[in-house]
Amino acid sequence: MKDFSGRKRILVTGGGGFIGSHLCERLLTDGHDVICLDNFFTGVKQNIAHLLDHPYFELMRHDVTFPLYIEVDEIYNLACPASPVHYQFDPVQTTKTSVHGAINMLGLAKRLKARIFQASTSEVYGDPQIHPQPEAYWGNVNPIGPRSCYDEGKRCAETLFFDYHRQYGLDIKVARIFNTYGPRMHPNDGRVVSNFIMQALRNEPITLYGDGSQTRSFCYVDDLVTGILQLMDSPKGFTGPVNLGNPGEFTMIALAETILRLTGSSSPLVMKPLPVDDPRQRCPDISLARDTLGWQASTPLEDGLKNTIAYFEALLASD
């Protein structure tokens, strides 16, 4: 369905979200025709407002839990609340978005014979007993806990993708996305980077859970989008799943101290109990991405944090 210029028509579900908006922007830069689909439950129009006048950008308000009839060449399925605050607000709808959304987008891809990308998550590994986590690890997930609507919803979506691939020969790409940060993060999404930055900029106490020794790895959004595009452009026989993230680990205390230094904040550190099923460690083994895609994150944490802090400073100033 490419036009005479070779321009692809690409659907991005969840395109008004944090990662989705950066992906839409990059696809437009690469010369494609982009349809951004979002119901704006967690995505915000501000993320894509600067794209609305672009001649090859189209915004569609739609919920992926309902079927969609449209003609496109490729599909990037990113639609789903991705932070605990948002996905636990309506856990039943979260599961529906992951499962029904996957079924609807896979059905669309099957009809169109289109390549389709699934934004899966490191949450499929649960509270891992293997560290770092390779793609071959099946995970340690609580199926009935408060986080299971997201964890199990994404695991079921992966099942559907691979069943469509095996049963119908559908051309799929699956990425397991680890902690990602950068401009356009939702200021109230409950994620550690946005939490710490907003608390620091307001000189409020910085909330650490547990003793602060638990670790996370942080990938800057530009690096992640590059990985997504490289996976989507990989040969047809390579389906994934592929871990996309930064294998560099940081404790929560180290992250808080870095943000305090970069913001010049006087915020004190406050310890609170660890949430239910919150993993102690989360770090990707990116050997597959490195060896197969030639991809690895390259943005140093401090550089990415400076850009993210500047975004939140501008957001607070505008408010």
**pLDDT tens digit sequence for 36-93:** 999 988 888 999 999 999 999 999 999 999 999 999 999 999 998 775 766 677 788 8
What's the whole-number mean pLDDT along residues 95-121?
96
Cβ neighbours, 10 Å, residue 112: 17
Contact 77, 109 (CB under 8 A): no
Return the CA Rg of the chain.
Answer: 19
- From CA 117, how far away is CA 121, in angstroms rounded? 13
Range of the domain at 227: 9-180+220-245+284-297
| In-domain check, residue 150 | yes
CATH code at position 98: 3.40.50.720
Burial bucket for residue 215 (CB in 10 Å: 0-12, 13-18, 19+): middle
Residue 1 in this model has a pLDDT that exceeds 60: no
Local confidence band at 289 (pLDDT 50, 70, 90 cut-offs)? very high
What percentage of the chain has pLDDT greater than the value 70?
94
Average pLDDT, the chain: 92
| In-domain check, residue 308 | no
Q: What is the pLDDT of residue 145?
A: 86
Contact 273, 208 (CB under 8 A): no
| Cα–Cα distance list, 319 to 233, 264, 314 (Å) | 40, 21, 9
pLDDT tens digits for 159-207? 999 999 999 999 999 999 999 999 999 888 878 899 999 999 999 999 8
- From CA 273, how far away is CA 52, in angstroms rounded? 43
Cβ neighbours, 10 Å, residue 268: 11
Local confidence band at 34 (pLDDT 50, 70, 90 cut-offs)? very high
Omega within 30 of 0 (cis) for the link into 241: yes
CA 81 to chain centre: 9
Q: What is the pLDDT of residue 213?
A: 84
Range with lowest mean pLDDT among 22-26, 213-217, 273-277: 273-277
| In-domain check, residue 45 | yes
| Cα–Cα distance list, 72 to 17, 32, 116, 279 (Å) | 20, 11, 11, 38
Residue 140 carries which DSSP code?
Answer: B
More confident of the two residues 250 and 51: 51
Residue 312 in this model has a pLDDT that exceeds 70: yes
Helix (H) or strand (E) holding 219, with range, is strand 219-220
| In-domain check, residue 15 | yes
| In-domain check, residue 72 | yes
| In-domain check, residue 317 | no
Burial bucket for residue 6 (CB in 10 Å: 0-12, 13-18, 19+): exposed
| In-domain check, residue 273 | no
Local confidence band at 3 (pLDDT 50, 70, 90 cut-offs)? low
What's the whole-number mean pLDDT along residues 238-254?
94
Which residues are tagged catalytic? Answer: 150
**Which residue in the block uniquely carries the two structure tokens 């200021």?**
187
Local confidence band at 128 (pLDDT 50, 70, 90 cut-offs)? confident
CA-wise closest residue to 238 among 99, 135, 109: 135
- From CA 217, how far away is CA 69, in angstroms rounded? 38
| In-domain check, residue 24 | yes
| pTM higher than the cut 0.95 | no
Contacts of 6 (CB under 8 A, 6+ apart): none
Q: What is the pLDDT of residue 2?
A: 58
**Which residue in the block uniquely carries the two structure tokens 């010369």?**
31
Domains in the chain: how many in total?
1
